[in-house]
Amino acid sequence: MQLTVLDRPTWEARRDAHEARVDAWIEPHLARRRLGRKHPVEDFLFTYYSYRPAQLRRWHPGAGVELAGSGAEAETVPARRAEAIAWIRDLLVATAARTPHLGCFGLHEWAMVYRQTKDELRHNAWPLRLGPAGTDAVVEGSRIRCSHFDAYRFYTAPARPLNLLQPTRETQTANEQPGCLHANMDLYKHAYKMSPLVPAELIADCFELARDVRTLDMRASPYDLADLGYEPVRIETPDGRARYVEAQRSFAERAAPLRGRLIAECERLLEAVAD
What phi and psi values does residue 254 have, to the nearest 5 degrees?
-70, -35
Q: Are 224 and 182 in contact (CB under 8 A)?
A: no
Average pLDDT value for residue range 236-244: 97
Predicted pLDDT at 73 = 86
Question: What does 95-143 look like in DSSP terms, one character per residue?
Answer: HHTSPPP---TTHHHHHTTTT--GGG-TTTTS-BTTHHHHHHHHHHTS-
Question: Running DSSP on this structure, what letter comes out for residue 49?
Answer: S
Burial 52-61 (b: 16+ CB within 10 A, else e): ebeebbbbbb
Question: Quick one: CA torsion of 158, 177, 62, 81, rounded to 10 degrees?
Answer: 70
Predicted pLDDT at 215 = 98
pLDDT digits (tens, 9 = 90+) for 15-28: 999 999 999 999 99
Q: How far is CA 274 from CA 77, 167, 188, 270, in A?
A: 10, 33, 26, 6
pLDDT digits (tens, 9 = 90+) for 244-275: 999 999 999 999 999 999 999 999 999 998 66
Q: Give the pLDDT band of residue 71 (cuts 50, 70, 90).
A: confident
Of residues 114, 96, 104, the one with CA closest to residue 159: 114
Q: Give the pLDDT band of residue 72 (cuts 50, 70, 90).
A: confident
Cα-to-chain-centroid distance, residue 114: 23
Q: Is 161 exposed, middle or buried (0-12, 13-18, 19+ CB in 10 A)?
A: exposed
pLDDT digits (tens, 9 = 90+) for 21-63: 999 999 999 999 999 999 999 999 999 999 999 999 999 999 9
> What pairs with residue 67 in β-bridges?
6
CA distance 84 to 180: 22
> What pairs with residue 65 in β-bridges?
4
From the CB of residue 257, how many other CB atoms can be counted at a distance below 10 Å? 10
Q: What is the CA radius of gyration of the chain?
A: 20
Predicted pLDDT at 275 = 65
Predicted pLDDT at 130 = 97
Predicted pLDDT at 245 = 97
Predicted pLDDT at 274 = 67
Share of the chain above pLDDT 90, in %: 96
pLDDT digits (tens, 9 = 90+) for 74-108: 899 999 999 999 999 999 999 999 999 998 999 99
| pTM, rounded to two decimals | 0.95
CA distance 39 to 24: 16
Predicted pLDDT at 106 = 95
List alpha helices for 36-81, DSSP H: 44-47, 53-57
Q: Give the pLDDT band of residue 1 (cuts 50, 70, 90).
A: confident
Residue 212 has pLDDT above 80, yes or no: yes
End-to-end Cα, the chain, rounded Å: 7
Across all residues in the chain, what is the average pLDDT? Answer: 96
Helical (H) or strand (E) element with 242: helix 238-274
Question: CA-based diameter of the chain, in Å?
Answer: 64
Q: Is 231 exposed, middle or buried (0-12, 13-18, 19+ CB in 10 A)?
A: exposed
